[in-house]
Structure 1
Amino acid sequence: MNQFVRELLAGNAAHAAAFDGRFDDLQEGQTPRAVTVCCSDSRVLQDAMWDNTEPGTLFTCGNIGNRVIQETDEGTVVSGDVLYPLAHTGTETAVVVGHTGCGAVTAAYEVLINGLDEPAGIEHCLELLKPHLAPGIERLPDDLSREAEINRLVEYNVDRQIEHLRNSTDVPDSVTAVGVVYDFQDQYDGKRGEIHVINIDGETDVDALQAAHPEIESRIERLWEY
């Protein structure tokens, strides 16, 4: 057996010992308080970033580019894995989590700017991002570094995913959609690993967000108000 798999199983044994009693109230179903849509980047610790250790609290989805959409015969729709808790478990909060230095946003950027060949599966994922990022590239200021452009497009991508949620007739009107960026590259004010709120229900103006949500004023920050 691969040594690292053995280490993973040992870690799981410790997890099972610590969590044994935490599943008693979850045997028959779940009512998660939020669905989080995170990038599947290994640097984005999807439960740990919230300091969450309680089963049943978060319905966590992960994919490259923290996308909320999928393509079907009926067109572009909110992905079933994101929609399920909103439609069936009473979950009324959706959080889209982008992150600094996102590889999927970077790849989509490179395809749009320079062209880039990827395996078909990755290309399919990028095709879901490209049409929504292209207008953002057109809006970028001229004096930015490549890194700065990509991190602004990270915000732009989160905004587009929130827009998809808000425009979908499948998502209940009661759902609050929050867009955030997880920073481990010192792009925002704050510590590495902090989450910065950039969008609440489609509002992206920092002053307006801070005025509406003074209790989290210090956590509301954007790199780019386009």
Structure 2
Amino acid sequence: MSGTGDVLLELLEGNHSHVEELPDDYFADVQTGQQPNVVSICCSDSRVPQERMWGVDHPGAVFTPSNIGNQVWDEDEGEQIVDGGVLYPIHHAGTDVAAVVGHTGCGAVTAAYQVATGGENPGPQGVDKWVEMLVPVVEEALESDLVDTEADEETVINQLVEYNVDHQAAFLRESEDVPDDVDVYGFVYDFQGVYGNEHGRAYLVNHNGETKPEEIADRIPDEYETATQSLLY
């Protein structure tokens, strides 16, 4: 690609192919509303395919808010609140499952780690806001006994990714704005072979607050036992 014109052409061509491939009744069941099964809050990294990772090929199944570092919160007048993109389907579309999805090698977590260890914000301000909201999470993680701060930076970053997923999931579970009957799961999407040799596996690292893999394995079918791993426990 040599310029923005080429990118625009790819977008137009791609959408044309999308339209041509859709069955006539593709949107029939969602013409007048949506009732997604899950709200999946992902990092906005382009390497994380938000619907495809779940094998979803139909509209209306997954509500997909995303931001830098898969953060479930935002700030309003100095108060930390649950992000509206997470709350909307829960309160207005009948969704009763939330999934927090981090990913290996996360740039946002890396940036927050660098700030927490004496580096500077990456800039510009719109990016810094989200990095700065992650810094306290990273600082807490580094002070805990869960992250091996003596390990190489890649290992530390991936441990921090998982810690952040757990932290975000806990924030949802503790919020008064999220009903108690909403299930909250935490995943790390691994496209680098960090957790195992299956690239693209979303490893279940948090099941309604449970973080130990052996305990999580007891809650899911035996065939998915290897889909729960941890770098922290």
TM-score range relative to shorter protein: over 0.9
Counterpart code for 1:220: T
- Contact 2:109/2:157 (<8 A) preserved: yes
What is the rounded CA distance, in whole Å, between the counterparts of 1:85 and 1:27 in structure 2?
A: 17
Task: Kindly indicate whether residue 73 of structure 2 is the aligned counterpart of residue 65 of structure 1.
Answer: no
Question: Which residue is 1:16 aligned to?
Answer: 19
- Contact 2:149/2:156 (<8 A) preserved: no
What is the rounded CA distance, in whole Å, between the counterparts of 1:21 and 1:174 in structure 2?
A: 33
Question: Which residue is 1:134 aligned to?
Answer: 139
Question: Which residue is 2:207 aligned to?
Answer: 200
Structure 1 gaps, min length 5: none
Question: Which residue is 1:222 aligned to?
Answer: 230
In the TM superposition, what is the alpha-carbon distance from 1:114 to its structure 2 partner? 2.4
What is the rounded CA distance, in whole Å, between the counterparts of 1:69 and 1:101 in structure 2?
A: 21
What is the rounded CA distance, in whole Å, between the counterparts of 2:29 and 2:193 in structure 1?
A: 40
Deviation per residue, 1:86-120 (Å, 9 max, x gap):
11111011011100000000000000002213211
- Contact 1:39/1:97 (<8 A) preserved: yes
Report the RMSD for the aligned CA atoms in angstroms.
1.3
In the TM superposition, what is the alpha-carbon distance from 1:213 to its structure 2 partner? 2.2
What is the rounded CA distance, in whole Å, between the counterparts of 1:49 and 1:130 in structure 2?
A: 28
Structure 2 gaps, min length 5: none
Q: Would you say how many aligned residue pairs link Structure 1 and Structure 2?
A: 225
Query: Identity rate of aligned residues, in percent?
Result: 44
- Contact 2:192/2:199 (<8 A) preserved: yes
Relative to 1, partners in 2 of residues 1:35 and 1:18: Cα closer, same or farther, differing over 3 Å?
Answer: same
Question: Which residue is 1:145 aligned to?
Answer: 152
What is the rounded CA distance, in whole Å, between the counterparts of 1:45 and 1:132 in structure 2?
A: 25
What is the rounded CA distance, in whole Å, between the counterparts of 1:93 and 1:178 in structure 2?
A: 8
Relative to 1, partners in 2 of residues 1:214 and 1:21: Cα closer, same or farther, differing over 3 Å?
Answer: closer
In the TM superposition, what is the alpha-carbon distance from 1:47 to its structure 2 partner? 1.3
What is the rounded CA distance, in whole Å, between the counterparts of 2:69 and 2:221 in structure 1?
A: 30
State the secondary structure of the residue aligned to 2:114. Answer: helix
* 1:1-226 map, 5 Å: 2-19=5-22, 20-73=24-77, 75-117=79-121, 118-139=123-144, 140-215=147-222, 216-225=224-233
Between Structure 1 and Structure 2, the one with more helix by share is 1
What is the rounded CA distance, in whole Å, between the counterparts of 2:176 and 2:132 in structure 1?
A: 23
What is the rounded CA distance, in whole Å, between the counterparts of 2:120 and 2:110 in structure 1?
A: 11
Counterpart code for 1:75: E
Deviation per residue, 1:178-216 (Å, 9 max, x gap):
000000111012311111000011110111111222443
- Contact 2:205/2:213 (<8 A) preserved: yes
TM-score, structure 2 normalization: 0.92
TM-score, structure 1 normalization: 0.95
What is the rounded CA distance, in whole Å, between the counterparts of 1:182 and 1:128 in structure 2?
A: 21
- Contact 1:85/1:91 (<8 A) preserved: yes
